[in-house]
Amino acid sequence: TATEGSAVLDFFEQAGITDQTVTRIRSTLEGAISLFHTTAPEADAGGHSNNNTLGAASSGAFLESFQRVIDLVFENGVEHRELLDKVFRFSVTQGKDARAAKCREENIREQADHMKSVHLRCFSGGVAAKKLLASEGILSLIVTSGTLAPLAEFKRGLRGVEFPMMLENDHIISRAPEVVVPDATSVSVDQVWGGIVCAGPTSVKLNGSYRTRNNHDYLQELGNVLANVAPKAGGDGVLVAFSSYAQLRTAK
């Protein structure tokens, strides 16, 4: 069960990692990482790395990941506890990670059942964004998308990242005014129609699932639908989207 992020501080304290010892531990980690990186590049005459070399590279990568966690958790000393509680969740699982699954595949079940994984999950993009903005050489951060609105909520989710300039346009899809259609009364036209077409002009079911997407009758009916819709859609064309490239190639 996940708990508040500051629980990671208590977890590290049990291992002797505290505000008082973290500087020494950082120094030890840097030395170990440097040693592993010095060992890892070595290879034989044929350019192949041996098991010891691969082990050193793997250990170095693991220690670098652990170092990043240490830096994050103890970033602002005791003051960081409040941020950990707000946007982080901490949990420890036993026998459930990828290493445990691999051990079970190799029939080392007893070892797998005792493997523990520590999880510190961040639920705010603001943590990464603030680090990015603090990096040397970053002058501006431009965030743009068609799905950010409402911007106030998006900004609140980034917690502490300021956007001095914000531009939010009206949605391009809106209800059009009434238009007069020849030989008909005035009608209201929408830019987008949403619905589900279950069958085509000849009553063949439009089922594009994996089992039926290559069926001749289905493909023929799909073509009939497009042939009927396209001339009446108006505008500059019709956009047809498929769930996969394989389905697109089949339909073509």
Kindly indicate the confidence band of residue 176, based on its pLDDT and cuts at 50, 70 and 90. low
The answer to whether 40 touches 53, Cβ cutoff 8 Å, is yes
Mean of per-residue pLDDT scores for the chain: 75
CA–CA gap between residue 103 and residue 113 (Å, rounded): 9
What is the pLDDT at residue 107?
Answer: 58
Kindly indicate the confidence band of residue 193, based on its pLDDT and cuts at 50, 70 and 90. low
pLDDT tens-digit series, residues 55-101: 555 666 778 888 888 888 887 655 677 778 888 888 887 756 666 66
Other Cβ atoms closer than 10 A to 103: 18
Residue among 30, 39, 82, 45 nearest 58 (CA): 39
Q: CA torsion angle for 105, 108, 111, 112 (degrees, to 10)?
A: 20
pTM of the model: 0.51
What is the pLDDT at residue 132?
Answer: 80
Residue among 240, 200, 243 nearest 219 (CA): 200
What is the pLDDT at residue 110?
Answer: 60
112, pLDDT greater than 70: no
pLDDT tens-digit series, residues 117-167: 788 888 888 888 887 877 767 778 888 877 777 777 778 777 777 888 888
182, pLDDT greater than 70: no
Q: How far is CA 134 from the centre of its chain?
A: 23
pLDDT tens-digit series, residues 41-54: 554 444 444 445 44
pLDDT tens-digit series, residues 12-22: 888 888 888 88
* pLDDT (mean) for 217-235: 85
What is the pLDDT at residue 220?
Answer: 92
Instruction: Compare 240 and 186 and report the one with higher pLDDT.
Output: 240
Would you kindly state where each structural domain of the chain is located, as residue ranges? 6-41+54-123, 124-186, 195-251
One-letter identity of residue 136: E
Beta bridge partners of 118: 92
